[in-house]
């Protein structure tokens, strides 16, 4: 399936805006994503291995929190979007 | 549909106003009724920066009767690439003064209400109570959560927009029936996640694109027209020019607007930044060197090896002739460096280079120092011909 990488995380995914990964559930797809791009791991998961609260995942246009979360089944043609919170402006200054 | 039915319509339009708003008046979706709603509406713009500039200009032009603006900042040269309400002549002026001048010039019928203050838990509720809606043009997480929570607590909609580089997010939060920002992101990123400076910047037109869409949604809420962006998160990637829409739901467990809200008063979060990577705290006993000391070494012909850990596009803006390895590439390119040599590491302002020094010392480099203040300090104190960015 296709995982869309948001701008702030592209630097941890080889600058790519999308990555094709295998998997039958959201959790599996994400696991495979962090295997092929290990730098992404700490940005998606906290120390306890749980998804970070400021990173949301959408299967197509639906929030996985309202589906079966990481157990949500996925198909080949599905798109998983990683949608982190962004603040804009001030944080974007290069310091 | 969310409308601002509590807004009392203004009595009438003057003949001048009829002429000014004629292209609204001849359109049934606005008409006289809609234009009077706009005139009666009270909209608070939080921030007169990238998002606030275009949206306030359009709201004033459209005839929103009362336009509040909150800002405490001063116009600087780096703002002008995107904050189009301010001009070159405004550099050094308060953004509030500059913005109020332009808004009055565009439409003298608008009542501009100025709030020369930083939005905080102490003033937000009081400030918001006099308005029908808030348009969020802020630039940081603490203020975003403050705006959201104050909107939920005062019961007024939050027309939300946010930008990063060339990507934007928009929605309407905190309507009675719709989700709020905390339904989407219950908590801000922890303060431990500080920005890596290497990935800043914003495409100048992006806040224009997003801000104008926020203004569109604000006008639609006032008019009660069309389909408001409630329960939908609109994502725009300006580089791909691709728009996507995601479904947002009101979270029954939301700490702010859920069925059993736990958030009863406003929180002042500390300044922190977004999702950029977990950084170790910089060691306090960092071996360092000042730009003046580096200049002396240079003049004496004794300059140690200079490592620049900025990004290649920053190197193109200005450089000190250092060897370039971006901070993120350092672990895999460390073998290009000689641990036995004296080395000075620099970046733009000293943050990234401190991390690089920390990393190099852990990797067995013992003669490595951080250039305090980076190339910006060099531009300030040694060579004014080097541009600051």
For residue B1, name the pLDDT band (cuts at 50, 70, 90): very low
> pLDDT at position A8, please?
84
**What pLDDT sits at residue B70?**
98
- % of chain B at pLDDT higher than 70: 91
Q: Which candidate from A43, A58, A95 shows the least CB-CB separation from B197? A: A95
User: pLDDT tens digits, residue range B274-296?
Assistant: 333 334 444 457 899 999 999 99
For residue B2, what pLDDT is reported?
47
User: Is residue A30 one of the residues assigned to a domain?
Assistant: yes
Indicate whether A94 belongs to any domain.
no
CB atoms within 10 A of CB B364: 8
pLDDT in tens, A70-83: 999 999 999 999 99
Question: Domains of chain B by range and CATH?
Answer: 15-247 (3.40.50.720), 288-381 (3.40.250.10)
Q: Report pLDDT digits (tens) over B332-361.
A: 999 999 999 999 999 999 989 999 999 999
The CATH number of the domain where A63 resides is what? 3.10.20.30
Q: Does B381 lie at the interface with A, CB-CB under 8 angstroms? A: no
What are the pLDDT digits (tens) for B129-172? Answer: 999 999 999 988 889 999 999 999 999 999 999 998 899 999 99
Name the residue facing B348 among A6, A42, A95 (closest C-beta): A95
pLDDT score of B192: 47
Domain assignment of residue A6, yes or no: yes
Nearest CA in chain A to B188: A54
Q: Which pLDDT tens digit goes with each residue over B221-270?
A: 999 999 999 999 999 999 999 999 999 999 999 999 999 999 999 998 86
pLDDT at res. A53: 83
Both tokens assigned to A24: 């039958």
Is residue A93 in a domain? no
Instruction: Read off the tokens for B109.
Output: 């019928």
Provide the domain count of chain A. 1
Whether residues B235 and A83 touch (CB distance < 8 A) is answered with yes
Confidence of residue B199 (pLDDT cuts 50, 70, 90): low
When the pLDDT of each residue in chain B is averaged and rounded to a whole number, the result is 91
> Is residue A14 assigned to a domain?
yes
In a domain, A90, yes or no: no
User: Containing domain of residue A30, as a range?
Assistant: 2-85
Supply the ipTM of this predicted assembly. 0.88
* B29/chain A closest Cα distance in angstroms: 30
Query: Is position A34 within any domain?
Result: yes
Q: Catalytic site residues of B?
A: 197, 347
């Amino acid at each position: 399936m296709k995982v869309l990488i948001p701008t702030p995380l592209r630097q941890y995914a080889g600058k790519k805006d999308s990555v094709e990964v295998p998997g039958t559930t959201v959790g599996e797809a994400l696991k495979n994503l962090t295997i092929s791009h290990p730098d992404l791991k700490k940005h998606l998961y906290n120390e306890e291995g749980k998804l970070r609260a400021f990173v949301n995942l959408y299967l197509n246009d639906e929030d996985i929190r309202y589906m079966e979360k990481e157990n949500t089944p996925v198909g080949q043609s599905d798109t998983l979007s990683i949608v982190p919170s962004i603040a804009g402006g001030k944080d974007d200054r290069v310091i | 549909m969310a409308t601002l039915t509590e807004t009392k319509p203004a009595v009438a339009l003057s003949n001048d106003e009829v002429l000014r708003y004629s292209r609204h008046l001849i359109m049934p979706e606005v008409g006289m009724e809609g234009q009077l709603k706009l005139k009666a509406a009270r909209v608070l713009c939080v921030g007169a920066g990238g998002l606030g500039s275009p949206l306030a200009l359009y709201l004033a032009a459209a005839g929103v009767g009362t336009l509040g603006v909150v800002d405490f900042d001063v116009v600087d040269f780096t703002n002008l690439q995107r904050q189009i309400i301010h001009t070159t002549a405004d550099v050094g002026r308060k953004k509030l003064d500059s913005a109020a001048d332009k808004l009055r010039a565009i439409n003298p019928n608008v009542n501009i209400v100025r709030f020369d203050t930083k939005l905080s838990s102490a003033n937000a509720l009081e400030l918001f109570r006099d308005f029908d809606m808030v348009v969020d043009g802020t630039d940081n997480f603490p203020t975003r959560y403050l705006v959201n929570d104050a909107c939920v607590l005062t019961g007024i909609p939050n027309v939300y927009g946010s930008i990063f580089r060339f990507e934007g997010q928009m929605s309407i939060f905190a309507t009675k029936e719709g989700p709020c920002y905390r339904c989407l992101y219950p908590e801000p990123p922890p303060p431990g996640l500080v920005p890596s400076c290497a990935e800043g910047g914003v495409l100048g037109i992006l806040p224009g694109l997003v801000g104008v869409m926020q203004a569109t949604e604000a006008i639609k809420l006032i008019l009660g027209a069309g389909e408001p962006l409630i329960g939908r998160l609109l994502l725009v990637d300006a580089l791909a020019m691709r728009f996507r829409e995601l479904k947002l739901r009101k979270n029954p467990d939301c700490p702010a607007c859920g069925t059993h809200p736990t958030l009863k008063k406003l929180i002042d979060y500390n300044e922190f930044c977004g999702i950029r990577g977990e950084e170790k705290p910089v060691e306090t006993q960092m071996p360092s060197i000042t730009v003046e000391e580096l200049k002396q070494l240079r003049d004496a012909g004794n300059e140690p090896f200079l490592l620049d850990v900025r990004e290649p596009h920053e190197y193109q803006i200005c450089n000190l002739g250092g060897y370039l390895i971006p901070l993120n590439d350092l672990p895999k390119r460390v073998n290009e460096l000689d641990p036995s040599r004296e080395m000075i590491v620099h970046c733009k302002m000293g943050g990234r280079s401190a991390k690089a020094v920390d990393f190099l010392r852990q990797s067995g480099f013992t003669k490595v120092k951080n250039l305090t203040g980076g190339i910006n300090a060099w531009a300030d104190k040694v060579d004014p011909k080097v541009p600051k960015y």
